[in-house]
A and B are shown apart, each in its own frame.
Chain A
Amino acid sequence: MTALPLPLPLPLEVRDLRTTLFTRRGEMKAVDGLSLSVAAGETVALVGESGCGKSLSALSIMRLLPDPPARIIGGEVRLNGRDIVPLPERAMLGIRGKEIGMIFQDPISSLNPVTTVEKQIVEVLMTHTELGRGQARVRAHELLELVGMPDAARRLDAYPHQLSGGMCQRVVIAMAIACSPSVLIADEPTTALDVTVQAQVLALLKKLQAEAGMAMIFITHDLGVVAETADRVVVMYAGRKVEEAPVDDLFESPLHPYTVGLIGATPTPGAERAARLADIPGMVPPLNALPQGCAFAPRCTRVMDRCRTEKPALTVPAPGRLVACFAAERG
């Protein structure tokens, strides 16, 4: 009799992650109990406005927080089943770039300005794989072809300033996927790019992901990009997850008033045109002055007395969906 195969651990599972900024103005809960998981081949979009904690969540997962002031004070980040939060920085050096790749918003400052493209890719390969220099150079060329770099052979000797923003982002992507990581975190990877180049980069990321089965976390403030790329969406507000849903459900029937507001505030060409965009009054509160109850209460159209004193917990209104809102619970 053969034993049942053990279920494979998910590539990425974050449980109750808490990251606090310790500043002169007090402690700020930048990430306040975030849980999320990403399956192989799946794209989870992390959405929210500036200051909602989406980038700090990504940096926490990568263990790239600026310490001080930021520190993970609780929770787990399970990468292929292993919690990496307690690991020393030495161990993280072997994990970043190998098991988990990252792409940042600004491709030009992500690259070393005084080193050629080839050397930067070769360095990643030689750090994390057994390849010798010669093999690594061959692989670097293959990777540049794979990410669709025009005239790849010639670009190997280029320095970042000789390339456009879109080309630099392709180099960053080549480095991020060089060691076939199981998890890829893309933090606003197309925000700095023009719309036609953005479309190229999004198509490239989807293609690479489909080929390698990577789990991808896609951080963005742009709901258009979410609709184009995500399978599942996590909406964050003031450091907390306020809603999670499959992408179609989220756009069709958003539950949290913040999600409703975000979607209403985004013009959607081709759909029925609203005469006026829905606007959410006020702005995201600073982390050191969060209201006592639900952080969204001061801007919420459906606010109740209870919202001002109690923080709503995440509930499961339907299979696969989560929402943290008293009003949404009542329907």
Chain B
Amino acid sequence: MSLLSLRDVRVHFNTSGGVVRAVNGVSLDLAVGETLGLVGESGCGKSTLGKAIMKLVPVAGGEIVVEGVDIAPLNREQLTNMRRKVQMIFQDPYGSLNPRSTVGRSVAQPLVLAGWKAAAMAERVETLLRWVGLPSDAKQRYPHEFSGGQRQRIGIARALALSPKLIICDEPVSALDVSVRAQVINLLEDLKSEFGVSYLFISHDLSVVEHIADRVAVMYLGMLVEVGGRDQIWKSPQHPYTRALLAAAPIANPKLARARQRTVLQGELPSPLNPPAGCPFNSRCPIAEDRCRVDKPVLRPVGNGAQAACHFV
């Protein structure tokens, strides 16, 4: 059984300009102990999908199945149990902590909600801070006393408090400097091997995803265009958008960078208010034909356990 199973998930936002289909029918499975990378450019809906799984945005349709239970129709109280299993860490370690709460209180918050006793809670907070590599005196201090990387560790400690099965990481290292980013990535990997936690790792940074993910899902204008194993995606990307994305990602190796074939994708993401008919990528696709402007391709198996949504693969 998958830990997380999404079936045709939709999130729609009503704006003054019309309806934005931020997540437009996403189906995806995440296995126990797996790290699934979710990549795409800004506005593709990847963060909204993460929030939809946490039910932080209203879900317009589809199923979100966590360990066999569809949580999409559940109300607040019924969600409590699910929230122990799924936690989230955010991009901005400054904005995701209450500045007037001590670190100890912030980390203990999930435990309070779960009804833990004070003594057990204090011990648990100590353990959590130790796991994420913070000094134990951190619990009396306030978020502003910590650097960005340390605040991200605080967020991770809080997410770990109730021993979740899945942590949704929404751009967790994008705001961090290179050396600190590596520290946080290593910490996430250590926690995974120690506790068997799974990650949905949302990022625009392909090199980070390639490093951390077992499988990768590529999103464009609210839809998945390709899903596959890390090596498969990296070595033989099938969808033209995946190919373009990989070709555009800078490689920190001048010789490899010069050696590769580079076709720079033209144009920019179309407005999500007015997505192209047919394939969402057709307006920028180098191989688009008439059919692509009419027929919307669906995600289908393309071998090696991979799936792609393109008429020409």
Query: How far is the CB of B301 from the nearest CB of chain A, in Å?
Result: 25
* With A195-B206, A283-B147, A283-B179 as contacts: A224 and B42 at CB distance below 8 Å: no
| Total A-B residue contacts, Cβ distance less than 8 Å | 136
Q: How far is the CB of B204 from chain A (nearest CB, A)?
A: 6
Q: Give A193-220 as 1s and 0s: 1 = Cβ < 8 Å from B's Cβ atoms.
A: 0111111101100000000000000000
Residues of A close to B208: CB separation below 8 A = 267
Q: Is the CB of A224 within 8 A of B41?
A: no
Query: Least Cβ distance of B214 to chain A in Å?
Result: 13
Q: Size range of the interface on A?
A: 35 or more
Q: Is residue B265 contacting chain A, with contact meaning CB distance below 8 A? A: yes
Report which of B211, B260, B269 forms a contact with A277, defined as CB distance below 8 A. Answer: B211
Instruction: Give the contacts of A250-300 with B (CB-CB under 8 A).
Output: 251, 261-271, 273, 276-281, 283-284
A103 at the interface (CB under 8 A from B): no
Measured CB to CB, the closest approach of chain A to B40, in angstroms, equals 9
Taking a contact as CB atoms under 8 Å apart, the answer to whether A164 and B268 are in contact is: yes
Q: Is the CB of B252 within 8 A of A263?
A: yes
Q: Does A195 contact B245, Cβ atoms closer than 8 Å? A: yes
> B170-187 toward A: CB 8 Å interface, digit per residue (1/0)?
000000011111110110
Q: Would A200 and B178 count as touching, CB distance under 8 A?
A: no
Closest chain A CB from B92 CB (angstroms): 15
Contacts of B247 in A (CB 8 A): 199
Q: Does B136 touch A at the CB level, under 8 Å?
A: no
Q: Assess the A224–B180 pair: CB atoms within 8 A.
A: no
Binds B, one of A7-15, A70-78, A136-144, A225-233: A225-233
Does B287 make an interface contact (CB < 8 A)? no
Contacts A227-B254, A283-B149 given; indicate if A269 touches B249 (C-beta within 8 A). Answer: yes
State in angstroms the CA–CA spacing of A226 and B206 once bound together: 16
List which B25-49 residues lie within 8 A (CB) of chain A: 41-42
How does the 8 Å CB contact mask read for A241-257 relative to B, with 1 for contact and 0 for none?
A: 00000011001000000
Q: Are A203 and B264 in contact (CB under 8 A)?
A: yes
Q: Which residues of B contact A266 (CB under 8 A)?
A: 178, 182, 207, 252
A53 to B178 alpha-carbon distance, docked (Å):
16
Contacting pair B183 A279 (CB below 8 A): yes
Q: In the assembled complex, which residues on chain B have CB atoms less than 8 Å from the CB atom of A247?
A: 254
Q: List 5 A-B contacts (CB under 8 A).
A: A222-B250, A251-B254, A266-B252, A270-B256, A283-B179
| A-B contact sample (20 more), CB < 8 A, given A227-B250, A227-B251, A268-B253 | A150-B267, A194-B268, A195-B41, A196-B41, A196-B248, A221-B178, A225-B250, A226-B252, A230-B254, A267-B211, A268-B207, A268-B256, A269-B207, A269-B211, A269-B234, A269-B246, A277-B185, A277-B211, A279-B183, A283-B180
